[in-house]
Amino acid sequence: MAETHKNRKKKKDDFLMQGAILAFAAVITKIIGVAYRIPLTNILGDEGNGFYGYAFEVYSLALILSSFSFPIAVSKLVSARMAMRQKRNAFRVFQCALIFSVVVGAVVAVVIFFGAGPISTHLMESPLSVYALKVLAPGLFIVSVMGVLRGYFQGLGTMVPTAVSQVIEQIVNAVISLVGASVLFKIGLKAAEKKDVDLLGPAYGAAGGTLGTIIGALAGLFFLLFALFAFQRVIRRQLKSDKTRRQESYSHILKILVLTIIPVIFSTAIYNINQLIDLTLFNKIMSAQGFAEKQYMALQGIYTGKYNTLINVPMAMANGLAASVIPSLTAAVTANDKKLVHSKINQTIRFTMLVAIPCFVGFIVLASPLMVLLFGDSSKTPAMLLAIGAVTVVFYCWSTVSNSILQGLDKMSTPAKNAGISLVIHIIALLIMLIVLKWNIYALVGSNIVFSVCMCFLNARAIHKASGYKQEMDRTFVKPLISAVIMGIFTYASHLLFSLALPGRIATLLSVLVAVVVYALCILKLGTLTEQDIKDLPQGYKILRLCRRFNLLPHKES
C-alpha cells in the first residue's frame, strides 16, 4: 500500500510538472505573440489586421482537419497502450498516425490553396484576404505532421519536445512575420497605385505577416524530427523490452484513430467556426446596415488584432494544462483508479482558475492602460472590448480544460455535442445583439460570453455524470476571486499613484508587478493552496520552505 501511494504521488507530481512545462511554454509563446503583434499591428493598420485575422480564422478551421486533432488523439491512444505496457503497439499508433497525417495534411493544404479565391470572395465577403490565405495554405501540411510528433511525445509522458518546439516556432514566426509584412506592404502600396485598389497595401502586408507562420512551423517541425532522432535509442529499447504478444494491425489502429479524431474535430471545429461565423455575420450585417468595408474591417482588426491577442495569453496556459491532463487522465482511467481521476480533475481545474481569475480582474482594471502599453491605442473601443470580454478568460479556460478532461475520461463525443448546443445559442444571441440591439463590434464579445458560459455548464454536468466528480467551489473559485478583487483594488490605486510621477507605460508595468505580488500574497494567506498543493508544484518543497520562512501561510489552529 505504501508503495502504491508513493507511485501515485510520483505520477501526480509528474503530471503537474509536465503540465507546468507546457503551460509555461504556451504562455511564453503567447507573450512573444503579443510582442510581435504590436509592431505588426502598426505596420498593417486596422484594415490589414482585418485581412490577417480573417484569413487566420479560415486557416484555423482548416487546421482542425489537418492537425489540431492529431496531438490529442495520438497522445490518448499512445498513453493508453503505454499504461498497459504495450510499447510496440504504442509505436505502431505513431507510425499509422504519421502516414495518415501526411495524406490528410496534403489534401487540405491543396484544397485551401486552390480554393482561396472563392472562399475569400463568396464565403468571407473579403476578397483581398485571398493573398494571406494562399500563403497560409502550405502550413496546413507542415503542422499536420508536427501535430503527430507532438502527440507521440505527449503520450509517452514528456511535454518538453512540444514545449521547446512551440517556443522555437513562435520566435521564428515573429521575426519572419515582421520582415515579410514590412516588405510586402510596400510592394502592395506600389501595386495599389497601378491597379487603383486602395486596400492592396494592407492585403499584401497581411500576406507577408502570415509568411512567418509557415517558416515558424517548419522550424518547429525540424526540431521535433531532431528530438525523435535523438530519442530513437530509447524507442528501440522500449520495443525490445515489450513482451506483449498481441500486435494491433494498422487497419485496426487507423479505425480507432479516426473514431478518436472525429469527435475531437467536431468539438474543436465548433470552437473555431463560431469565430468564423461571427466575423462573416458581422461583415454581412454591418454591410447591410450601410457601413463601408473599410469601416467594418477596421473594427474587425481591433477585435482580432488587439482584443483577441490579449485574451488569448492566459488561455494559452489552459491549453497547456489541457494537453497534459489527457494522457495522465487516460492512464488513471485505464487503471480504474477513481480517486486518482478525481484528484487530477480537481487539480487541473483549480490551477487553471488560479491564473484565469486574476487575469479577468486585471483586464478590467487595466483595460485602457494595457491597450496603450501594447498598441499605443488610447481610444475607447479597444479598452471597452477588453473590459467587457475579460470574463471570457475564466469561462474559455474552464471550458478548454473541461473538454480535455472529458476526452481523458473517454467521453470523446460529449464536448462536440455540448459545443453544438452552445453554438446554436451563441448564434441566436449574436443575431439579436447585432440586428435588434445594434451593439456593433460589442456583439461579438457578448455572444462569446454566452457561448463560453453554456460550454462550462454543460461540460461540468457531463464530468459529474461520467466520473462522479463534484466540483469544489471554495478553493477553486471563491478564494481566488476574493484574492483577485483585493489585487484589483491595489492595482487600480497603484496605477493612479504611479501615473502622477511616471510615464504611462512605466506606471502600467509597475502596476502589473504590484498585481502579481498582491495576488500571490492573498492566495497564500487565504489558504487557497494547501501545503500539499504547494509541494505538488514544480520546485514545490523549496517554495513551501520560503512560504514558511516568511510566514506567508495561514496560521493553523491549535
Query: Per-domain residue ranges for the chain?
Result: 17-472, 473-558
Spatial contact of 47 and 301, defined as CB atoms under 8 Å apart: yes
Mean pLDDT of 141-155: 92
Mean pLDDT of 319-332: 79
Show the cell assigned to 394: 475564466
Read off the pLDDT of residues 402-432 as tens digits, 9 standing for 90 and up.
998 998 898 988 998 999 999 999 999 999 9
Read off the pLDDT of residues 478-495 as tens digits, 9 standing for 90 and up.
999 999 999 999 999 999
273 pLDDT more than 50: yes
Show the cell assigned to 483: 484574492
- pLDDT band at 354; cut points 50, 70, 90: very high
Mean pLDDT of 284-312: 86
Dihedral-angle region of residue 339 (phi above 0 means left; psi in -120 to 50 means alpha; beta otherwise): alpha
Q: In the prediction, which pLDDT does 349 show? A: 93
Task: Name every residue whose Cβ is closer than 8 Å to that of residue 227 and which is 6 or more positions away in sequence.
Answer: 149, 153, 161, 164, 165
Cα 273 to Cα 263: distance, rounded to the nearest angstrom: 15
- At residue 147, the 3 state secondary structure works out as helix
Task: Name every residue whose Cβ is closer than 8 Å to that of residue 224 and which is 6 or more positions away in sequence.
Answer: 146, 149, 150, 153, 161, 165
Mean pLDDT rounded to a whole number for the chain = 86
Show the cell assigned to 19: 503540465
Q: Which of 175, 203, 174 is nearest to 188 (CA)?
A: 203
Written in H, E and C, the secondary structure of 239-302 is HHHCCCCCCCCHHHHHHHHHHHHHHHHHHHHHHHHHHHHHHHHHHHHHHHCCCCHHHHHHHHHH
Q: In the prediction, which pLDDT does 16 show? A: 62
Compute CA distances 225 → 141, 147, 161, 219, whole Å: 15, 12, 10, 10
What ranges in 376-503 are assigned the alpha helix state H? Answer: 380-389, 392-408, 414-431, 442-467, 479-501
Read off the pLDDT of residues 492-527 as tens digits, 9 standing for 90 and up.
999 999 999 888 889 999 999 999 999 999 999 998
DSSP structure class, residue 129: G
253 pLDDT more than 70: yes
- pLDDT band at 4; cut points 50, 70, 90: very low
Q: Which of 46-50, 57-61, 300-304 has the highest mean pLDDT?
A: 300-304
Q: Which of 43-57, 207-221, 380-394 has the highest mean pLDDT?
A: 380-394
Q: What predicted TM-score, i.e. pTM, was given to this entire model?
A: 0.77
Read off the pLDDT of residues 86-133 as tens digits, 9 standing for 90 and up.
889 999 999 999 999 999 899 989 998 998 888 877 766 677 778 888
Read off the pLDDT of residues 520-547 as tens digits, 9 standing for 90 and up.
999 999 988 888 778 877 677 888 898 8
